[in-house]
Amino acid sequence: MIIVLKADMEIDAPEVERLVELAESYPGVRTELHQIQGATRSLSELYLLGSTGVIPTEPFEEFSCVERVVRITEKFRSIGRHGGGLEAVGFEYNGIHIAQDTFHVFPGLCAVDNRENLEAMFRLLREHGIQTARAGAYKPRTSPYDFQGLGAECLPFVFESAGKNDIRIISMEVTHESHVDEILEALRIAGNPTGVMIQIGTRNAQNFELLKSVGQQTELPVLFKRGMGITLEESLNACEYVASGGNRRIVFCLRGMKTNLGDPHRNFVDFAHVPVVKRLTRLPVCIDPSHSVGSRAVAPDGLLDVFHVTAQGVIAGANMVLVDFHPKPGEALCDGPQALLVEELARFLEDAKIVREAYEARLRRVAISSTG
Ligand code: PEP
Ligand code: MN
């Protein structure tokens, strides 16, 4: 059971103490108090854990500090909406607000290969007014003989160049918990010129020890990528490992599913699940069209498949787009064939904007029909 306290309620208020006492007076029940810092207000929630099935909600609803009492209906209790009883709160990180109603594009290198290409990439993003990017330093590759990423060695120049180009958040995958420490240390040494969103790749979606460790740190938000060969339910439970560690600043990313039925795309595009994840969880939802499609194939109408699948996710309300972009894809050491070219980036951003506006127009129609 989750008891939502009224907005901006002080958690050490005597009434909250009495609420906790009442909850813990039921046999086999313990409590956890969580504060979620949303973009505009903080939200406090009291979790009742243990045998709560038989506890009535009424005695709790009578407290004036209580806004709502919600019964847990999903196993993924911290990220779940539980039948709509809990609102999506989102978060603010390094000046960027990410929530179920915001929209940001994160273009960039799948893997950092050299300083020159990285700087060219950030400069181009800056020219387009983009403050959010991707840049991979630690790459989980299918073959041990393929380029594994430059690792900690590239972090100083990545962060310095990001700062110079006013990049506020870089999405960066980690494959081991020590990478988080290396990133935090490099950010600190550089004077925190930018921010990092820790990316958990699809191959590590059920690496529970890694999920626990990124969940136990709360400095950096987490982009959790859906497992490519497991059910959505299993991915949501895996994502809960991050939230249950204490870190609630999480974005859930769809990136396609591994099945030959998706051929000729690299993965079967699953962006129809954008509204599903928004309904089931409180998390903002990201789409990754590059790792879904895996090529720069062009449809007969002249638009790249990557543009088309992005449109499918954005028209359905995606909050973030992670897309591979490389100033010289021929020099890329990982996933060059799927990276957008310089001349494609501007068109991609424009296309995504058109679709986002169409989504917002659709929302206005819903608002009119529900009030009128
Ligand atoms: C990536 O985004 O660089 C990546 C490896 O993606 P995924 O984990 O979705 O394959
Ligand atoms: Mn890649």
CA 30 → CA 23, 25, 117, 365, distances in Å? Answer: 7, 9, 53, 45
Q: Measured between alpha carbons, how far is 61 from 34 in angstroms, rounded to an integer? A: 18
Cα 194 to averaged position of ligand 2 atoms, centre (Å):
22
Q: Whose CA is nearest to atom 9 of ligand 1?
A: 202
Q: Which ligand is located closest to the Cα atom of residue 270?
A: 1
Cα 218 to averaged position of ligand 2 atoms, centre (Å):
26
The CATH classification number of 103-371 equals 3.20.20.70
pLDDT value of position 40: 72
| Total residues found in the chain within this entry | 372
User: Could you give the angle at which helices 177-190 and 155-164 cross, rounded to 10 degrees?
Assistant: 50
| Pairing status of strand 66-70 against strand 2-5 | antiparallel
Cα 105 to averaged position of ligand 1 atoms, centre (Å):
16
pLDDT value of position 372: 64
Sequence-ordered list of residues with C-beta below 8 angstroms from that of 261, at least 6 positions apart, any chain:
268
Q: Measured between alpha carbons, how far is 201 from 181 in angstroms, rounded to an integer? A: 18
Q: Are 66 and 4 in contact (CB under 8 A)?
A: yes
Distance from the Cα of residue 126 to its chain's centroid:
22
Sequence-ordered list of residues with C-beta below 8 angstroms from that of 65, at least 6 positions apart, any chain:
5, 6, 9, 13, 15, 16, 19
Alpha helical stretches, state H, 25-152: 58-61, 115-127
Does residue 109 sit in helix, strand or coil? strand
Q: Measured between alpha carbons, how far is 372 from 368 in angstroms, rounded to an integer? A: 6
pLDDT value of position 38: 73
Q: How many CB atoms lie within 10 A of CB 50?
A: 15
288 lines ligand 1 (CB under 6 A): yes
Q: Measured between alpha carbons, how far is 298 from 307 in angstroms, rounded to an integer? A: 9
State which of 134, 202, 252, 335 you would mutate to test the pocket of ligand 1, scoring each by most atoms of that ligand within 8 A of its C-beta.
202
Q: Whose CA is nearest to atom 8 of ligand 1?
A: 201
Sequence-ordered list of residues with C-beta below 8 angstroms from that of 187, at least 6 positions apart, any chain:
159, 194, 195, 196
Cα 165 to averaged position of ligand 2 atoms, centre (Å):
23
- Amino acid making up residue 247: N
104 lines ligand 1 (CB under 6 A): no
136 lines ligand 1 (CB under 6 A): yes
108 lines ligand 1 (CB under 6 A): no
110 lines ligand 1 (CB under 6 A): yes
Atom of ligand 1 nearest to the CA of 290: 2
Q: Measured between alpha carbons, how far is 106 from 170 in angstroms, rounded to an integer? A: 8
Cα 255 to averaged position of ligand 1 atoms, centre (Å):
8
Cα 184 to averaged position of ligand 2 atoms, centre (Å):
23
> What tokens were used for 351?
């296309």
Name the residue ranges covered by the structural domains of the chain.
Answer: 2-91, 103-371
pLDDT value of position 41: 75
Phi-psi category of 247—alpha, beta or left, where left has phi over 0 and alpha has psi -120 to 50? Answer: beta
Domain 2-91 has CATH 3.90.199.10: no
Q: Measured between alpha carbons, how far is 19 from 1 in angstroms, rounded to an integer? A: 13
pLDDT value of position 105: 98
pLDDT value of position 39: 67
Q: What is the pTM of this model?
A: 0.96
CA 368 → CA 361, 363, 365, distances in Å? Answer: 11, 9, 5
CA 144 → CA 139, 141, 148, 149, distances in Å? Answer: 11, 7, 8, 11
Tens digits of residue pLDDT in 306-360: 999 999 999 999 999 999 999 999 999 999 999 999 999 999 999 999 999 999 9
Atom of ligand 1 nearest to the CA of 255: 9
State which of 170, 203, 211, 225 you would mutate to test the pocket of ligand 1, scoring each by most atoms of that ligand within 8 A of its C-beta.
225
Cα 149 to averaged position of ligand 2 atoms, centre (Å):
11
Which ranges of the chain have pLDDT less than 50?
none
